[in-house]
Amino acid sequence: MTDKTHRRFPVHGLLVLLLCAIAAVPLLKPGYFWGAHDARHDVYFIFEYNRAVSGGDWLARWAPDFSWGYGYPFFLIYGPFTSFLGTLLVRFLGMGYTQAVEVLFALAILASGLAMYGYVRSWLGRNAGLVAAVAYVFLPYRLVEVYVRASLAEYVALIWLPLILWGVRAAFESTRLNSGRSILWPVVGTALAYGGLMVTSNLVALIFTPLLAIYALILLLNRINEEQPIRQWSGQSLFPLIANLIRVSAAPVLGLLLGLLISAFFWLPALAEGSLVNQDQWYGGYYNPELHFVYPHQLFAPGWGFGISEPGPDDVAQGALSFQLGAVPVVLAVLALIGMRRVRPGRRRELRYLWLWLLLAIFLMLPASAWAWRNIGFVSFAQFPWRWLMLAALPLAVLSGSVALLGRSEAGTVGPSQNLRVLREDRPERGMDDDPNQRLNLSTVLLAVLLILGSYAFLQVQTILPTPQQGPVSYAALMRFEQSSDEMTGAPKWVDLSQRPLWSDMAELYVQADNPPLRPDASKAEIDAAIARQAAAVTSKVDYTQMPQNETLAVWSLELGSEYEKLWVT
């Protein structure tokens, strides 16, 4: 296949979609994975966001049915993007809540592969991009996020990371003199990706941003060194150096600032008012990070389970979620150290930094990092040490993909490959797509297949019928889930959590209206009818037992919405 054919027909991109789609196949299994850690949260987050939209609030802050109907500003502190997308699927495509979650996961799997492919392709070539994309989707922890943890917001958030790095890198490249590139699209792309991350998961955004800042600094130094080599810096070059720094960094900085601007509707209120929500229930006790350190052997233990993390070194062996990095990606990442000498120095520095990034993420999972968890703020935002596996996924995937460089012609060989090397050095913004070795080859396909086979045994999902404390999705099931799990039961900071109510009269009305009870395998029509019947059971949130209806004081409910109630008081 010729290069022209490659440009007309995106073989690599289509192969990325095809191979990554394999990771979504378990989602086709009938039923829903009600037993996955956050599977119930996912559907009820969408349920509550849809409730807010029903009242006309498309930028929801308030979750009216959490805390047994008392409500609290959940979407003030939790990224609303995935709940918003799920609401669109429910309202405009008529999907059920569980179906919406599964569709979002499937689309996110494909988007993850394409995002990583685009980023790595832009500087390491198509073959490296293909391998990195498959690695990013099939890393064991990435499968844990879908089929064990069902952590929708976290999984979708990781789509944005390679897109942000791609945008920042492209923004730096666009500032080259006589490059002929517009800065518009890199700036817009960076802004949309960084803004998307901010509204998807503030947790991921907080722990990713410091690593992004260092990556941007390395790109900045690479660019400055190309135009004004460090060894030539002097007092006389200070002002030209400052001017160069401003010119080169303007586009990526602008993109990131615009990303903050377009997402300010979420993070600014969260920053200003988030402290008004009592978050003590999510810290201490089970949530003490020092109870959940990963032990070194667990990074390589091949076991697979569906349970939650437990203190101690044996939880994986006893059926807890897996913390493994993946044998195949680790071997490929080590081999990538050999391939680093085959790329130009600037890109070599990027790969070395990604290795340091990976090692840092691994270190922060281990007991040896206890001091960092106690004293460095952004580290503890991850809540659990093993959550740093999600930040390890990105460098591990890129390094796995860079192994494809081992198939390139060595620098210094005679003939066309040497001329191509000169072309790449003189015009680095072209990436590596001019290299004939970047045509799809058997070794690249075999690497991708090897990554899939290394994780193929983990492509399993436990679909079960819901218990009454889980679903099917309805007001009554939500109340029972809150009561049985003590989840989605937040409160304002001035509420003593030991004194907060553990049930409500309104919750009781919803449960009583669940008559006849929904069958676990109820159809969407039956679920919709039950939701409407239960909603009709609550006509007011006023506790009339505390309101004397007499000539002194009388209260009438005029209108009840998802986030308000109009009352007439005399």
Per-residue model confidence (pLDDT) at position 566: 84
Strand partners, 491: 278
Q: How many residues does the chain have?
A: 570
Per-residue model confidence (pLDDT) at position 311: 87
What is the SS3 assignment for 519-570? CCCCCHHHHHHHHHHHHHCCCCCCCHHHCCCCCCCCEEEEEECCCCEEEEEC
Per-residue model confidence (pLDDT) at position 435: 55
φ and ψ of 302, to 5 deg: -80, 5
Per-residue model confidence (pLDDT) at position 429: 44
Give the three-class secondary structure for 162: helix
pLDDT along the chain (570 residues), means of 10: 54 95 96 94 96 90 90 91 97 96 98 98 94 98 96 98 97 80 91 98 95 96 78 70 85 97 95 83 77 93 89 83 94 88 83 96 96 90 93 97 73 37 39 60 94 96 91 94 88 81 90 90 92 90 72 78 79
Q: Is the pTM of this model over 0.85?
A: yes
CA dihedral 13, 213, 241, 259 (to 10 degrees): 70
Q: How do beta strands 491-492 and 565-569 pair? A: unpaired
Per-residue model confidence (pLDDT) at position 8: 54
Per-residue model confidence (pLDDT) at position 410: 38
Per-residue model confidence (pLDDT) at position 424: 39
Per-residue model confidence (pLDDT) at position 319: 84
Mention every residue, 6+ apart, whose C-beta is less than 8 A from residue 270. Answer: 76, 77, 202
Candidates 370, 347, 314; CA nearest to 120 is: 347
CB 74 within 8 A of CB 563: no
Taking the C-alpha atoms of residue 541 and residue 559, their distance in angstroms, rounded to an integer, is 10
